[in-house]
A = this chain, B = another copy of it.
Amino acid sequence: MPELRKDPVVGRWVVFSPERQIRPERYVCEELPPTKPEDNPFLEGHEAYTPPEIYAIRPNGSAPNGPGWQLRVIPNRYPALRVEGNLDKEAVGFYDRMNGVGAHEVIVETPHPQLVLEQQTLPGVVRVLQAWRARMIDLSRDIRLHYALVFKNHGARAGATMPHPHSQLIAMPVTPIVVKEKLAAARAYFIEKDRNLFEDILKSERTSGERVVFENDGFTAFCPFASRFPFETCLMPRRQSPDFQTASDGELLLLAEGIQRVLSTYASVLDQPSYNLILQTAPFRRSRHPDAWSTIDSDYRWHIEILPRLTGVAGFEFGTGVYINPTLPEDAANILREGMTHG
């Protein structure tokens, strides 16, 4: 059974999942070799090599766990957290722990082993976003779960161990520290100014324009003022909502366009970099904190972060939380805008 433990100093939770140790190596530093078809459980016709599917898009109504799908969601074979069991929150002497109850799912974005997200058709990208939304809505009904993170590790340097295009979802019984910090900052800002922090960021970016990379009717993509990584991009919806799950099909189409434009520009300008894509959305469970988060509908906004992994994370970053970035976001945005025009 995986286990969650809390750091007694900074309050950070760590997931201990000894079963993942059987993987030869989670983080391969070399370029990923293309998986031999016989070793790729994500291929069409290989459905028997994965756990039974949780969700799938099967336009011709084919039967579950067989061929005929455009997208499949399956449990991770080496899950960081498990659906079964009780939380059993407890003190261990001086420390705090609980069982690693949660979910760890893999969204297989396409049956095609080399069709990376930005090369999919626009409806193909929309399908991926719809799967994220469907899984979030379903998992939010499990009262043991407080938060779900959707993310995509693309390329060896970003932690991917399978080249077949996929994203992941991990749902947890705690609200993680990064989310708590953002919620607390958004709330403090709202209380002080009676304005939404993310709306103010968006306004500031759209007014100056120097860090804006792309815009359509629903979303603005920009390189954040204090980007941690060169060419880091944030995709922010212009409609206020704390929850990604509230995005309409129309909004997902606009978001899909934004993601596709940013990723295809990365691929051409940065020579197909490794990247992490992260969906930041509000926790499922918040009604129990009426004092703390009562204004969450007005003060927090979901958004997407895309982090190209051209630079590393080393002693300085771990010791300080400060990042060293050699590329100003104004320069990065300029290069990305140019690449987009000529792409």
Q: Which residues of A contact B (CB under 8 A)?
A: 3, 5-21, 23, 26-27, 29-30, 80, 92-95, 147, 149, 151-153, 156-160, 168, 170, 172, 174, 176-179, 181-182, 185-186, 197, 200-201, 204, 207-208, 224-228, 276-280, 305, 307, 310-316, 318-328, 331
- CB-defined A-B contacts under 8 Å, sample of 6: A12-B228, A12-B322, A16-B326, A17-B324, A178-B318, A305-B318
Secondary structure at chain A's binding surface: helix, strand, loop or mixed? mixed
A293 vs chain B, min Cβ distance (A):
16
Cβ–Cβ contact B151 & A316, under 8 A: yes
| Residues of chain B lying within 8 A (CB to CB) of residue A278 | 315, 318-319
Ranked nearest first, the 9 interchain pairs of A and B with the lowest CB-CB distance are A159-B314, A27-B312, A151-B315, A176-B320, A276-B315, A278-B319, A177-B321, A178-B321, A94-B204
Q: Contact partner of A319 among B7, B15, B279, B319, CB < 8 A?
A: B279
| Residues of chain B lying within 8 A (CB to CB) of residue A174 | 322
Q: How far apart sit A5 and B232, CA to CA, in the bound complex (Å)?
A: 15
Cβ–Cβ contact A185 & B10, under 8 A: yes
Cβ–Cβ contact A327 & B18, under 8 A: yes
| Residues of chain B lying within 8 A (CB to CB) of residue A225 | 5, 7-8, 92, 95
| Residues of chain B lying within 8 A (CB to CB) of residue A197 | 8-9
Cβ–Cβ contact B80 & A276, under 8 A: no
Cβ–Cβ contact B30 & A29, under 8 A: yes
A268 vs chain B, min Cβ distance (A):
20
Q: How far apart sit A173 and B188, CA to CA, in the bound complex (Å)?
A: 25
| Residues of chain B lying within 8 A (CB to CB) of residue A27 | 310-312, 314
Q: Contact partner of A30 among B16, B30, B321, B325, CB < 8 A?
A: B30
Known: A320-B177, A320-B179. A14 touches B325 (CB 8 A): yes
Cβ–Cβ contact A159 & B10, under 8 A: no
Q: How far apart sit A5 and B156, CA to CA, in the bound complex (Å)?
A: 29
Cβ–Cβ contact B314 & A149, under 8 A: no
Closest-by-CB residue of B relative to A319 is B278
A250 vs chain B, min Cβ distance (A):
26
Closest-by-CB residue of B relative to A170 is B316
Closest-by-CB residue of B relative to A156 is B29
Closest-by-CB residue of B relative to A28 is B312
Cβ–Cβ contact A326 & B20, under 8 A: yes
Given contacts A13-B322, A149-B319, 5 further A-B contacts (CB under 8 A): A7-B225, A9-B182, A20-B324, A27-B310, A174-B322
Interface core residue of A20, A156, A179, A314 (most chain B CB under 10 Å): A314
Cβ–Cβ contact B159 & A315, under 8 A: yes
Cβ–Cβ contact A276 & B314, under 8 A: yes
Closest-by-CB residue of B relative to A174 is B322
Q: How far apart sit A52 and B75, CA to CA, in the bound complex (Å)?
A: 57
| Residues of chain B lying within 8 A (CB to CB) of residue A228 | 12, 14
Q: Contact partner of A80 among B92, B156, B324, CB < 8 A?
A: B324
